Amino acid sequence: MRPVYREPQTALDSVLPRAHYTVYSYHVLGGALLRQIGEYCSYCEVALAGNAAVEHIMSKSQDATLETEWDNFLLACVNCNSRKGAKTEKASDLDDYLWPCDITRDSSSAYQYYWDASAGVGNEVARVRVSPTAPTTYGDRPANTLALVGLDIDRSQDPAVPDRRADNRTTTWRVAVRLANDLASFGNTLAAYDGELAGLLIDQIVATATSLGFWSVWMTVFRARLTQAGMLTTSIDALLLRLFVRTFPGTYWGANQAAFAPIPTGHTGLPGGRT
């Protein structure tokens, strides 16, 4: 799950007058979120393509102030937003889940994305699945979050389910595999990617990844392929930073975290500064 950084509300005040978000407005708040963390679902990571919903981390049903608290906002697709609903009503509920905007915890390390062909023979039934990394540093939070937004739902088990998140994630994985193989053919050193031809392929990879979304899929596929090609871990991290971290707005990962410094003391990215 892509970790993201939203600037704190105090920073937002300098570019978005407070009066604009003391009254809930999807157009104003959604636009600010799109600029900061990109047009992607904060949970399943699909590219939203104009279908973004401003998602309240903590339900506003129990506390009206949560409706306009900047740190309470993320972006979500229709499926993740409707599945989550108003299940996080109490302040204590926040502690049961892992949130992509929680800068004190690394949501990218809490899950594994993998190709699963065990459902049958052939690509038509294979699926890319998401499961908590074991053992997990964060207890039950990752598993609870998957259940909260329904990332474990799979239409291959019931075609009547109107939820294509697993299908789209799987399609993106296939595309990523083809492009990762093409990139690995240039070699296993960073210098191998300085040429014009490699640069054109990198531009194509970035354009495809940012248009489809599913950041974790791209990171997983490319790390595995470049590792297989014999590239050093430090070089892989540098290339992933170039390909998928700096190109997906607001990604709070690895060396890119320095891009958001200094972070105000006590700021966690969660409503009320909770940890």
Asked whether 69 and 11 are in contact (CB, 8 A), the reply is no
The pLDDT of residue 160 is 59
- Alpha carbons 206 and 267: distance in angstroms, whole number: 31
- Alpha carbons 165 and 140: distance in angstroms, whole number: 23
- Alpha carbons 138 and 154: distance in angstroms, whole number: 25
Give the tens place of pLDDT for each residue, 76-93: 998 898 888 767 766 677
Mind listing the pLDDT tens digit of every residue in the chain (275 residues)? 999 999 887 666 655 655 555 555 656 777 888 889 999 999 999 999 877 788 888 887 767 777 878 888 999 998 898 888 767 766 677 889 999 999 999 999 999 999 987 754 444 557 788 999 887 789 999 999 999 998 888 766 656 567 888 889 999 999 999 999 999 999 999 998 988 999 999 999 999 999 999 999 999 999 999 999 999 999 999 999 999 999 999 999 999 999 998 888 888 999 875 54
- Alpha carbons 157 and 39: distance in angstroms, whole number: 29
The pLDDT of residue 39 is 94
Give the three-class secondary structure for 200.
helix
Residues counted in the chain: 275
The pLDDT of residue 158 is 59
| Overall pTM surpassing 0.85 (yes/no) | yes
Q: Per-residue DSSP letters for 14-36?
A: TTS-GGGTSS--HHHHHHHHHHH
The pLDDT of residue 91 is 65
